[in-house]
């Protein structure tokens, strides 16, 4: 049943097995943001197109390659513009991939720092022995240092294993969009 639901919205290329994401546009400029007057190579993508590509990339099984098919309603084939659009999409998602890779690296550094602080707190709580004088305050400090070590250890593992998995998933989706063949169909 899931496959029938999937096939209701997406076509699969019988030759390559790629899932085809079909996008209908009136003209070439619909690919790019309306307010961005930069040259085509560095223009920002249309917000709706970005959302569409990201959302549907997550919806499709990550092991399935995708192909983008732009249906151009009011345009005549222009290979130069097709090249600009391909570069624009590639540039945008390569940038997003780079940003997520940078965030992953920062997350790992943070995790290492938290793990180091946890080890330091654990060593402190192990070697800090309360004396008979001010025993309550010293035991209170030892207990807080011990709890602090567990909190930092938990945060290190959370960053390293749970949150980084989401970032890794994003990177794979961006890679898939960048490597997707882009085709144009004219009417």
Tell me: the pLDDT tens digits for 140-159?
888 888 899 999 999 999 98
Mean pLDDT of each 10-residue bin along the chain, 187 residues long: 61 90 90 66 79 87 91 91 92 92 93 94 82 79 89 91 87 93 93
Q: Both 15 and 94 in a single domain?
A: yes
Same domain? For 69 and 95 the reply is yes
Give yes or no: residues 160 and 73 share one domain. no
95 and 177 inside one domain: yes
For residues 6 and 77, membership in a common domain is answered with yes
92 with 10, same domain: the answer is yes
**Same domain, yes or no: 161 and 115:** yes
Burial grade of 153 (CB within 10 A; 0-12, 13-18, 19 or more): middle
128 shares its domain with 148: yes
Q: Dump pLDDT digits (tens) for 99-125.
A: 999 999 999 999 999 999 999 999 988
Instruction: Tell me the two tokens of residue 97.
Output: 């991939």
Residue given tokens 């732009």 in the structure block: 70
Residues 136 and 50 in one domain: no
Structural domain count, the chain:
2
Alpha-carbon distance of 170 to 155, in angstroms, equals: 21
Domain that holds residue 155: 106-168
> What's the predicted TM-score (pTM) here?
0.77
CB 67 within 8 A of CB 81: no
């Amino acid at each position: 049943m899931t496959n029938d639901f999937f096939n209701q919205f997406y076509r699969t290329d019988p030759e390559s097995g790629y899932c085809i994401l079909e996008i209908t546009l009136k003209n070439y400029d619909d690919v790019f943001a309306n307010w961005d007057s930069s040259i085509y190579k560095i223009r920002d993508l249309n917000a709706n197109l970005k959302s569409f590509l990201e959302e549907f990339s997550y919806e499709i099984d990550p092991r399935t390659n995708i192909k983008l098919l732009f249906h151009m309603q009011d345009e005549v084939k222009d290979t130069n513009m097709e090249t600009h659009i391909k570069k624009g999409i590639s540039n945008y998602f390569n940038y997003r991939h780079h940003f997520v890779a940078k965030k992953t690296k920062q997350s790992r550094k943070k995790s290492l720092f938290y793990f180091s602080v946890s080890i330091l707190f654990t060593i402190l709580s192990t070697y800090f022995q309360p004396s008979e004088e001010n025993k309550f305050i010293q035991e209170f400090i030892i207990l807080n240092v011990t709890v602090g070590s567990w909190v930092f250890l938990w945060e290190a593992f959370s960053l390293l294993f749970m949150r980084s998995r989401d970032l890794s998933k994003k990177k794979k989706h961006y890679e898939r969009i960048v490597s997707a063949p882009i085709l144009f169909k004219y009417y």
